[in-house]
Amino acid sequence: MWAHGLPGGNRRKNVKSLKWMTMGCVLSTVAVVACAQAPVVAQEDGDYAVVARIGEDVITAAELEVMVCPSLVKLRQQIYDAKVAGLQYQIFERLVVEAATEECLTRADYMKKHVNDKVGEPDEDQIAQLMAQYRARLAPDDEQARQQVIGALNQQAQARLSEDLRKELFAKNDVVILLDPPRVEVALGEGTPMRGPLTAPVVLVEYTDYQCPYCTRIQPTINALRERYGDQLLHVFKNLPLPMHAQAQLAGEASLCAQDQGKFWEFHDWLFANQRNLSQETMVAQAGVLEMDTELFTACIDQKTYTQKVKDDMKEARSFGFTGTPAFLINGRSVTGAQPIEAFEAIIDKELTLKGIEVPPRPEPEAAEGQVETAQ
């Protein structure tokens, strides 16, 4: 295991470009290189292909792809989601008919038995709360409004029960969706904090903001993933400071200054633990606590050594359509928000399985509950 970028020697020579195949943007540490699977080319091949002329001026394929890449990333994800939803529906219908036949029921009677009849009476407090919350959108008559709310709650309950039944039937019949999800490509360059072996089969790229409360909340989840998967996981850290967080850009730059002195992860943990009290003064003081050279640390900040590096991370994240934090790529697959650990594990386990690697066992229930509680 290693941290603070690449260990020892000439980092520039040791930097490895980590790429994930199929669709998405290909980014260097500075700019987007390509987005589509097969870029449109004309007159020349590759990024310098001329796709339009304006008098004597030209627009190249690379310039076009930089502009449209975020839209294409979102579109590809929507297409994938639609295909998965269609597949799940077809498979579910087939399994429901088979299960209904086994119970000597029609499809309608089977769904009534396993879904509709299990819907209980809505909670009165919930009905009253929703009626008050959405009163302007409901019928003027109180009884009609009440029936609208009850109908909506029953539909939600039916949807949950139907989804539970789908999961049960899929698990019972060993259903596996083989569609490969859209992925993006990322090149990891010099100065990118990471921990874990470069040869790890799963790469988790985190885009985060040191003043984002949800980013703080997700840190125990990331630590739990690293503990469970060990050398099977490479964790990569990138900055995505949001405009409403005044000290997030400075904190990101300061953390990279700490990396210069081999203290990135210690400083990273302190920043998240003290995100409401971040200033250059408090950061310099903490550098002293961590036994860094505070003069070098201060000079690194004052000279804006890593201002452009943080901006490059932001540009990269936005090219993938990330506008909030935290955001992640798992082998190029997008995950947004402070999701529960199970959401990450499901993707990582599938990635390991696709590579023919044995999935490590989950921790004991008591340990898992403790990790989730800490994350909250």
Give the domain CATH number at 252. 3.40.30.10
- One domain, residues 260 and 365: yes
Q: Is position 135 within any domain?
A: yes
Structure tokens at 360: 């490590």
Do 167 and 205 fall into the same domain? no
313 and 359 belong to one structural domain: yes
Domain, as residue range, for 213: 193-375
- pLDDT tens for 55-75 read 999 999 888 877 887 788 888
In this structure, the answer to whether residues 289 and 211 fall within a common structural domain is yes
Which of residues 114, 139, 172 is at a domain's end?
Answer: 172
Q: Which of 118, 137, 172 is the last residue of a domain?
A: 172
Predicted local distance difference test score (pLDDT) of residue 21: 32
Enter the pTM of the model.
Answer: 0.68
Mean pLDDT across the stretch 201-211? 97
Q: Based on the domain organization, do 134 and 233 belong to the same domain?
A: no
Question: Is the model more confident about 16 or about 99?
Answer: 99
Judgement on whether residues 202 and 289 belong to the same structural domain of the protein: yes
Lookup result for tokens 């992925």? 183
**Residue 139 sits in the same domain as residue 241:** no
C-alpha span between 305 and 309 (Å, rounded): 8
Q: Is 336 inside any structural domain?
A: yes
**Together in a domain, 211 and 357:** yes
Query: How many whole angstroms from its chain centre is CA 194?
Result: 17
Look at residue 291 and tell me whether its pLDDT is greater than 60.
yes
How many domains does the chain contain in total?
Answer: 2
pLDDT score, position 65: 79
Reported as a single tens digit per residue, the pLDDT across 126-175 is 899 888 988 888 888 889 989 999 999 999 999 999 999 999 999 999 99
How far apart CA 169 and CA 91 sit, in angstroms, is 10
In this structure, are strands 185-186 and 26-27 parallel, antiparallel, or unpaired? Answer: parallel
Same domain, 206 and 158: no
Q: How far apart are CA 316 and CA 240, in angstroms?
A: 9
Are 344 and 220 in the same domain?
yes
Phi–psi pair at 167, nearest 5 degrees: -60, -40
User: From CA 212, how far away is CA 337, in angstroms rounded?
Assistant: 11
Q: Cα(304)–Cα(128) distance, rounded to whole angstroms?
A: 55
Contact by Cβ (8 Å): 40, 72: no
In a domain, 308, yes or no: yes
In a domain, 360, yes or no: yes
Q: Does residue 152 sit within a domain?
A: yes
Quote the mean pLDDT of the chain. Answer: 85
Per-residue tokens: 141: 């008559």
Residues 209, 106 share a domain: no
- Residue 299 domain flag: yes
Flag whether 76 is in a domain. Answer: no
Res 10 pLDDT > 70:
no
Residues 149 and 275 in one domain: no
